[in-house]
Structure 1
Amino acid sequence: MTSYRDLIVWQKSMSLVAFVYKMTMQFPTDEKFGLISQIRRSAISIPSNIAEGYGRNYRKDYSRFLQIARGSLFENQTQLEIAVNLEYIKVENLEEIKELSIEVEKMLNSLIKKLEE
């Protein structure tokens, strides 16, 4: 592997970001600096931390950044649930993004475990 771009978990998390951006375009405009901003920032944090961790020279640092990415993923999952509760997202739409999110979560867990062995 020559780059973080080769990591499937990074690629999937980039897809998650694109999905989140498309979904939040449908939110009420008064949420622009509230929930929309929070959801987008937490989503962006996922691939960003995967990439930053990959660039570190130490496995322990890399693992730590992957844990931060996982935390951002959980934050994003929670914010999307809030959006459903506020009826900004339909439950059907949440299910689609939830599947991708869970896939990224499993990949992060696996990579973290592998680095910590």
Structure 2
Amino acid sequence: MSFKFKKLTIWQKSMELGEIIFQTTINFPADEKFNLTSQIRRAVDSIALNISEGSILQSKPEFKKFMGYSIRSCAEVVTCLYKAKNRNYISEESFQKLYSDCYNLTNMMIGFRNQL
């Protein structure tokens, strides 16, 4: 027995991204704990959380709404990544990899939403 969202590639990828972002932010300065660190972690976790919440007992229009929240949360993660790069908390290489992951996930989520 399992929840149907566990089978969704977008949920699986968002869970992976969440763990990568968490590990990345461990090295952020302590004075960012309640600012950028918290913000990017909440935003990345919101992606998977909204996918799962929208998939359970929701109509298709309601699920589309939750997918919109996930897509916007991913955009928020990208903005946080820019801030982290500009503040020299992450390398250009790390930024590019995470940016690419977010870009690909966003496109997957948009495609999924359009097929609902």
- Is 1:82 equivalent to 2:83 in the alignment? yes
Moved over 2 A (4+): none
Can you give the 5+ residue segments of structure 1 that lack an aligned partner in the other structure?
none
Q: Secondary structure at the match of 2:98?
A: helix
Q: CA deviation at 1:103?
A: 1.4
**Match of 2:113, SS?**
helix
1:2 CA drift (Å): 5.8
Aligned partners of 2:10, 2:46: CA distance in 1, in Å? 13
Query: Could you tell me the TM-score, scaled by structure 1's length?
Result: 0.94
The TM-score normalised by the length of structure 2 is 0.95
Which 5+ residue runs of structure 2 have no aligned equivalent?
none
Matches within 5 A, 1:47-66: 47-66=48-67
Report the count of equivalent residues.
115
- Code of the aligned partner of 1:13: S
Name the counterpart of 2:41.
40
Secondary structure at the counterpart of residue 34 of structure 1: helix
Tell me if structure 2 keeps the 8 A contact 1:56–1:62: no
- Please state whether the residue corresponding to 2:34 is helix, strand or coil: coil
Report the CA distance between 1:47 and its aligned residue: 0.3
1:35-59 deviations in whole A, cap 9, x for unaligned?
Answer: 0000000000000000001013300
With over 3 angstroms needed to count, the CA separation of the structure-2 counterparts of 1:17 and 1:2, relative to structure 1, is closer
Query: Structure 1 residue 94: deviation in Å?
Result: 0.9
